[in-house]
């Protein structure tokens, strides 16, 4: 799970600032936090693998993503692996590091939800590449905690997080949108964030459904115009 948690679970700005002020006050007096480990967290990895062999027949796909604590990074990596298993050539990249799109025949872009929206670097990627993205197949995916329970109401709410994205780049028309649950691991959070989320009783765990994610990626092959660009005929059976 990503930083959408703070907004979604009702941790408002006043509560956050109150806890932060108390924490910093305690730190300034040299107690409360053992060994002064205020913001230390375990290492978070943001993978950027490539797979598959590029050819004139199947082109190349970019899976670009934004991620705060690594949950969405894992989703992007699995999407890339699934596409490669279908015969595509794929680069998985952080959106803020993605270079020119001239070598790609299609792009998948995903982000967790932060304050009811995609992370800024994901939106910036779309805005800066809007002209190119309007000419090739594009898919979006959203990672948010409410998709632990994928009811129709929760799906509708999760889709609503893309409203501002659609408004900012109306010329980009996604052919498919994925809605996935995330993960929450307290050891990846700062001391203060752990304090806040534990006070709200939020459950720790990995709620990502890998079968759902792989199925979504595999179904891209069934969309007209997408499969002919990315997958050789031998992989479409």
What structural domains and CATH numbers belong to the chain? 4-231 (3.40.50.360)
State residue 7's pLDDT score.
44
Mean predicted confidence (pLDDT) in 193-210: 84
Partners of 138 in beta bridges: 107
Give the span between the Cα atoms of 157 and 72, in whole angstroms: 18
- pTM score, whole prediction: 0.77
Break the chain down into helix, strand, coil percent, rounded to 5.
45, 15, 40
44 pLDDT band (50/70/90 cuts)?
Answer: confident
**Residue entry with tokens 């898919």:** 139
Give the span between the Cα atoms of 185 and 166, in whole angstroms: 31
């Amino acid at each position: 799970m990503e930083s959408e948690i703070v907004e979604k679970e009702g941790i408002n700005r006043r509560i956050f600032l109150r806890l932060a002020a108390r924490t910093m006050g305690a730190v300034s007096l040299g107690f409360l936090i053992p060994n002064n480990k205020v913001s230390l967290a375990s290492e978070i990895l943001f993978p950027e693998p490539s797979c598959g062999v590029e050819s004139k027949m199947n082109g190349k796909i970019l899976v670009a993503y934004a991620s705060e604590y690594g949950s969405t990074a894992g989703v992007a990596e699995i999407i890339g692996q699934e596409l490669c298993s279908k015969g595509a050539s794929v680069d998985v990249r952080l959106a803020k590091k993605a270079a020119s799109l001239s070598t790609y025949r299609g792009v998948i872009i995903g982000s967790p939800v932060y304050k009811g929206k995609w992370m800024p670097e994901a939106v910036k990627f779309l805005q800066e590449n809007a002209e190119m993205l309007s000419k090739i197949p594009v898919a979006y995916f959203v990672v948010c905690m409410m998709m632990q329970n994928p009811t129709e109401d929760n799906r509708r709410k999760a889709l609503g997080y893309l409203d501002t994205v659609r408004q900012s780049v109306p010329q980009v028309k996604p052919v498919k949108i994925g809605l996935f649950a995330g993960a929450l691991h307290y050891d990846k959070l700062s001391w203060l964030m752990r304090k806040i989320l534990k006070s709200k009783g939020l459950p720790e765990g990995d709620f990502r459904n890998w079968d759902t994610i792989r199925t979504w990626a595999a179904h891209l092959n069934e969309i007209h115009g997408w499969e002919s660009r990315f997958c050789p005929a031998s992989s479409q059976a």
